[in-house]
Amino acid sequence: MPSIFSKIVAGEIPAYKVAEDANFLAFLDISPLAKGHVLVIPKQEVDYIFDLDDDTYTGLMVFAKRVALSIKKVIPCERIGVTVMGLEVPHAHVHLVPMSSMGDMNFAAEKLSLPKQEMEDIARAIAAGFPDK
C-alpha cells in the first residue's frame, strides 16, 4: 500500500508544496513544530533513509539544503534544524525546522495548528525563495 507521501507525490492528497523536481518533493508539515517546518522526500518510495541508493541519498540532501536556504530567507530563525526520524511514515523523509533554540526541535512538544491561508502564504514565500541551482 502506498505511503501518504507517495499519495502526495501522485497528487491523490493535497499538500502545501514549496519545491519540486523530477526526483524530490518538499512540502510543509501539516502538524509543524514551527512556522516553515518542511518535509523533504524522494519521490521514490523507500521506507528507510539508509536504504536509499547513494545517488538518491546525496541528491535528497542537496535538495534539502536548497530548501533550507529558501526557508532561512523567509522565516525568522537562527538556523534550520535537520532531523531524520523515519518512524511516523514508512517513506524516507527529512525534517527541516526553523529554530532559534534547542527546544525548537522537540518532537514531543505540542504541534502548531495554522490556518489554511497562513500555510498557503508560508508555502508561497518559501517557494518564491527557492534557488534554481
Q: Average pLDDT of 107-127?
A: 95
- How confident is residue 133, by pLDDT bands cut at 50, 70 and 90? low
Catalytic-residue membership of 95: no
Q: Report all structural domains of the chain as residue ranges with CATH numbers, in order of start.
A: 4-129 (3.30.428.10)
The pLDDT > 90 percentage for the chain reads: 90
Q: What is the pLDDT of residues 74-97, one digit of tens each?
A: 999 999 999 998 788 999 999 999
Q: What is the DSSP letter of 12?
A: S
Q: Average pLDDT of 27-31?
A: 96
Catalytic residue, candidates 37, 91, 93, 95 = 93
Our CA angle for 117, 119, 121, nearest 5°, is 70
- Please give the pLDDT value at position 2: 86
